[in-house]
Amino acid sequence: MKLHLVVPLLIVVALLSAACVPVTRPLDAARDAGAMRSVILTAFGDSAGTFGETQPFLQALQDKVDRTGESAFCEGVYEGELSGQPVVVVTTGTGADNAGPCMQELLSWYGPRIKEVIWSGIGGVTPAVGGIVDDTGQRRSGATPVMIGDVCISALTWNWDLHFSSVSDWRAARAEGAPYDPAGGWWPMKNSDGSSDVLGFDNVQQFVIADTGLADELLKAAAQVTWPVMDAGVQAKVEHFFAPDQMRPVHVFDYTQCAEVAGNNFWHGAVESKLARQYLASLISTAGLAQVQETDVVTFSAMEAAAWMSVLARWNAHHGTQIPMAVIRGASNYDQVALDATGSPMAGEDGRPLTAMADIREDFKEAGASFAWDNAAQPVLKLFELRSSR
């Protein structure tokens, strides 16, 4: 065949072959073409919605599409609708090392199609507003009790892990009769006004302060929730610290009163709780939300907020966007061992004083977790319900 006939024929064949190849789009583009979605983050739970922080959302999710198999960093990704509102319910996996990369992947997937990000989960809580003991370990008179199942709706977080500590200073505090005062033995790598005198930590996200608009909407939704009543198992857990006549219904703390002080080391203890409240009070005051002291606030001991909020804050700053974020925590346990009248740890089943680890293990065995994750989810579910009725 002559060359001038071969070339046009090859072009035709190539065009026909190309037409037979399926046209595909990157997953990112496919997602970006969809509706704006609210992202609901949780740490743990199974895909069937039978347990965990994800459970209340997966049980209510309509038109569920499981995209978990496409994710390298999230344990579960489920698209669908809540009260007719497009959402993606995500199980990040427990801890900062899971929550941060998962949030980063979600941003690469959905990017500008993310309407907002809400964390819903559980955590250890200060037993009483401002702490239940003073520096000497004596019970504070008139301290306002915090119940298992209480809820915190916040717009900021402090990174517990990013500080220096000195055991010798702690020992000196004990010798001076103030064993529960961490002052002098601890200090942050960055102050709550953003200043730092630690070389090389200028870009460290010691804390994140978000706009309060989304938290305000969640607080309004929480005010319309019908809260469940404590069962006997949860009451028994509260009674480690408080008398039966001090029991009360679920209370919601706002961002002038509470926040998650996030740490991968699962901090637990009266000293740690006091330090966390010092940091949080400083952050709330510096953020201009309220002028508070450590005796005014409640901290939640959990692991993820500083990681995923830091990722989202950096994304917002880089892209000049303002994707709203908020954190909801339900109190599943107390963040310290119950103390007797002398300030000593209460005895465990073996008659010996409980250590922090023994107390954490007891918390895992006792009731409270499911009550807490159900309560944490209620303001979110009510939020979408209210939006759908507008």
Within a domain: 1: no
* Dist CA 48 CA 44 (whole Å): 12
Cα dihedral value 258, 259, 263, 266, nearest 10: 40
Q: What is the pLDDT of residues 255-266, one digit of tens each?
A: 999 999 999 988
Kindly state whether residue 160 falls inside one of the protein's structural domains.
yes
Secondary structure of residue 306 in the 3-state scheme: helix
pLDDT interval class at 29 (50, 70, 90): very low
CA-CA distances (angstroms) from residue 102 to 105, 232, 260, 286?
A: 5, 37, 19, 30
C-alpha to C-alpha distance for 39 and 103, rounded to whole angstroms: 10
Total number of domains in the chain: 1
Encode pLDDT of 322-355 as tens digits. Answer: 999 999 999 999 999 887 767 778 888 788 888 8
* 45 pLDDT higher than 90: yes
Which pLDDT score is estimated for 33?
A: 53
All residues at 6 or more sequence positions from 230 whose CB lies less than 8 Å from its CB, including other chains:
147, 148, 149, 238, 247, 371
Give pLDDT, residue 136. 82
Q: Which helix (H) or strand (E) holds 286?
A: helix 270-286
The pTM assigned to this predicted structure is 0.89
| Distance between CA atoms of residues 167 and 109, nearest Å | 44
State the average pLDDT for the chain: 88
**Tokens found for residue 268:** 């637990």
- Is position 378 within any domain? yes
Q: Is 92 part of any domain?
A: yes
pLDDT at residue number 141 = 84
What's the residue count for the chain?
390
Residue 171 falls within a domain, yes or no? Answer: yes
Would the pLDDT of 378 be above 60? yes
CB atoms within 10 A of CB 269: 18
Is 102 inside a domain boundary?
A: yes
pLDDT band at 286 (very low <50, low <70, confident <90, very high): very high
Specify the amino acid at residue 191: N
| pLDDT band at 57; cut points 50, 70, 90 | very high
Give yes or no for residue 362 having a pLDDT over 60: yes
Assign 172 to helix, strand or coil.
helix
* Residue 3 covered by a domain: no
pLDDT for 27: 43
- DSSP letters, 140-155, are PTTPPB--TT-EEEES
Confidence of residue 152 (pLDDT cuts 50, 70, 90): very high
The pLDDT value recorded for residue 257 is 98
CB 338 within 8 A of CB 345: yes
Among 380, 386, 289, 389, residue whose Cα is nearest residue 330: 380
Angle between helix 213-222 and 369-388 (nearest 10): 100
- Contact 45/58 with Cβ under 8 angstroms? yes
Domain CATH for 40: 3.40.50.1580
Full domain range(s) for residue 301:
23-388
The neighbour count for residue 94, using CB atoms within 10 Å, is 19
Domain annotation covers residue 6: no
